[in-house]
Amino acid sequence: MQENYQQKTLGILGGGQLGRMVIQSAINYNIDIHILDPDDNAPCKSIAKKFVQGKLTDFATVYNFGKTCDILTIEIEHVNTEALAKLEQEGKKVFPQPHIIELIQDKRKQKQFYLNNNIPTAEFILTDNKAAVRANSGFLPAVNKLGTEGYDGRGVQIMREAADLDLAFDAPSLLEKLVDFDKEISVIVARNEKGELKTFPPVECAFHPSANLVEYLFSPAEINDLIKEKAILEAQKIIEKLNMVGILAVEMFVTPKGEILVNEIAPRPHNSGHHTIEANYTSQFEQHLRAVMNMPLGDTAIRTPAAMVNLLGEDGYTGEAIVEGLNEAMAEKGVYVHLYGKKITKPFRKMGHVTILEENLEKLKPKAKRIKDLIKIKA
């Protein structure tokens, strides 16, 4: 059967690095992508078939943009879902579906969804303001999380003792038990309109202690088969309960007892899947494209163990970005540098990433550290 995927225009809300890597894979299938982003210098600008500058949270902007596309998707959750719902009613395909984006925009609703669907997650209470957090000092040690608009660790406040209560959010938020976890892992699962389902093997995330961003990622995660199975099953259960089409990243904690607790989900390509470009048979970006375009999903198996490091803007430098150590890194076998096309660097801004391949995790760990220490983004 002949399929003319290239006759459909895919619109993406958001034109950052995630959209940019989706465009890179769409080129292989002759699929045109239109991008909406508020930033006139967005990473997708020069490579999108059409680029519209506009606010993702504005009803008319999103609606008018959507009218010109056949299929719509997102690379960021903070978008106007009313406009997407109207486009869906008018016959456009919108994946992930607008009501799912709405659920995920709010960490409070997300947690309730886990509770209602028997998905293991850390115990929590909802708090409407700072006073409500204070009133629950008996719940510490805990993590206070903003309901909406938190990202990259902003909107997350760890509270170990009563003195930390001063840091509580004075807005609708939740207070969640601090999990004493062994590891943080992530599972990316994809589903298309036909209901076909494919899951990437779990990866392990090591966080930067102060910036609260993933510092290293390792694939595969070093977990036993039982935990691996449980993690994959939870991710599949979530995407199926949501009846979602697209790609879903599920962040989880593994406790010392071998329990899995779901932390949060993201219905789009995710930082924990960047290595799949080189390290798996299908990349998460291509899988996202395949899922929303109702193409057959690709095989997710690992080709080779991999590490991924984010290239964050060095602390103390703001201005036009200069990449230090690039030539040395490029001379190494199995080192793949991705720069996102952001002209201006700022402390901890995600400027790019590097994937590092090796035959085993043992060799991979020191190599990843060496590469991370080698490449610096300064101004």
Ligand X SMILES: Nc1ncnc2c1ncn2[C@@H]1O[C@H](COP(=O)(O)OP(=O)(O)OP(=O)(O)O)[C@@H](O)[C@H]1O
Tokens 């010392």, residue located: 256
The reply to whether 153 sits near ligand X by the rule CB under 6 A is yes
The reply to whether 196 sits near ligand X by the rule CB under 6 A is no
The one segment of 6-14, 68-76, 90-98, 148-156 that binds ligand X by CB under 6 A = 148-156
Give, as one character, the DSSP assignment of residue 271: G
One of 120, 150, 172, 220 touching ligand X (CB under 6 A): 150
Cβ 372 to ligand X, closest distance in Å?
18
Q: With contacts defined by CB under 6 A, how many residues of the chain interact with ligand X?
A: 18
- Enumerate residues 223-252 that contact Mg ion by CB under 5 A: 251
Which residue number, 105 or 318, has a Cβ lying nearer to Mg ion?
Answer: 105
The reply to whether 172 sits near ligand X by the rule CB under 6 A is no
Pairing of strands 33-37, 50-53: parallel
The reply to whether 249 sits near ligand X by the rule CB under 6 A is no
Cis amide linkage into residue 220, ω under 30° from 0: yes
CB atoms within 10 A of CB 2: 3
Which one, of 100, 22, 99, 19, lies nearest residue 267 by Cα? 100
Residue 80 near residue 98, CB atoms below 8 Å: no
Counting every residue written for the chain, the total comes to: 379
The reply to whether 251 sits near ligand X by the rule CB under 6 A is yes
Q: Which of Mg ion, ligand X, none binds 178 (CB below 5-8 Å, type-dependent)?
A: ligand X
- The encoded tokens of residue 209 equal 């202690």
Q: How far apart are CA 237 and CA 242, in angstroms?
A: 8
One of 127, 192, 236, 263 touching ligand X (CB under 6 A): 263
Which one, of 127, 112, 7, 16, lies nearest residue 69 by Cα? 7
319: phi then psi, degrees, rounded to nearest 5? 145, -165
The one segment of 11-19, 176-184, 324-332, 357-365 that binds ligand X by CB under 6 A = 176-184
CA distances from 234 to 172, 173, 192, 260 (A): 27, 25, 18, 9
- Enumerate residues 198-217 that contact ligand X by CB under 6 A: 207, 212
Q: Which of ligand X, Mg ion, none binds 176 (CB below 5-8 Å, type-dependent)?
A: ligand X
Which residue number, 58 or 264, has a Cβ lying nearer to ligand X?
Answer: 264
Which residues of the chain form contacts with Mg ion (CB under 5 A)? 251, 264
Contact footprint for ligand X (CB under 6 A)? 122, 143, 145, 150-153, 155-156, 176, 178-179, 184, 207, 212, 251, 263-264
